[in-house]
């Protein structure tokens, strides 16, 4: 008998989980002195777009790629933004606090994979926000999985 391992997307609770996360997160950003300037003038649909991006990366529907341009479109959003390491670290810390409030799974396997993606993605955003970075060409959507541990450890 073959055991089916849920995707990170499924384990988290699907799109509603990531929509809760980004709604909470982007609801707090305007009050954060380090992040507010980065998101001033934010598109009113930004939270929903980010939810769909994260959901797709973690194994969900390919809605961001099909409707919003995939990974190259996300990379373009960061061009010329001059993001700092302090802003990146604050973004990560606030997002992880909001993940708790949004009820994302807290088991070590999920959180390890989730944090791994968030760290990788935010570091990529900082690199792509530097002066002189060229327009991105075609690029596949990142696909994050459980990593070396296949699925949650449930005693």
**Higher pLDDT among residues 84 and 136, named by residue:** 84
What are the chain's domains?
8-128 (1.10.490.10)
Give how far Cα 1 sits from Cα of 84, 108, 112, Å.
50, 26, 28
Neighbours of 9 (CB within 10 A): 20
Q: Is residue 149 pLDDT above 90, yes or no?
A: no
Q: If DSSP codes are grouped into helix, strand and coil, which group holds residue 28?
A: helix
Question: Does the pLDDT at position 153 exceed 50?
Answer: no
pLDDT of residue 147: 81
Q: Is the pLDDT of residue 82 over 70?
A: yes
pLDDT at residue 112 in the model: 94
Residue 2 clears pLDDT 50, i.e. is over it = no
Radius of gyration of the chain (CA): 16
Asked if residue 150 has pLDDT above 80, the reply is no
Output the 3-class SS for 64-85: HHHHHCHHHHHHHHHCCCCCCH
The answer on pLDDT for 24 being more than 50 is yes
The whole-number average pLDDT for the span 83-112 is 97
pLDDT of residue 26: 97
CA-CA distance, 106 to 138, in Å (whole number)? 34
């Amino acid at each position: 008998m073959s055991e089916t391992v849920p995707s990170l997307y499924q384990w988290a609770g699907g799109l509603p989980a990531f929509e809760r996360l980004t709604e909470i997160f982007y609801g707090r950003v305007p009050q954060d002195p380090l992040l507010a300037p980065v998101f001033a003038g934010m598109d009113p649909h930004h939270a929903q777009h980010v939810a769909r991006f994260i959901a797709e990366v973690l194994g969900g529907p390919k809605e961001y790629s099909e409707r919003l341009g995939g990974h190259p479109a996300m990379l373009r959003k960061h061009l010329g933004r001059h993001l700092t390491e302090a802003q990146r670290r604050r973004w990560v810390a606030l997002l992880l606090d909001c993940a708790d409030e949004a009820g994302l799974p807290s088991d070590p396997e999920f959180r390890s994979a989730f944090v791994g993606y968030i760290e990788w993605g935010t570091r990529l955003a900082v690199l792509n926000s530097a002066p002189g970075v060229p327009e991105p060409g075609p690029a596949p959507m990142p696909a994050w999985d459980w990593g070396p541990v296949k699925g949650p450890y449930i005693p």
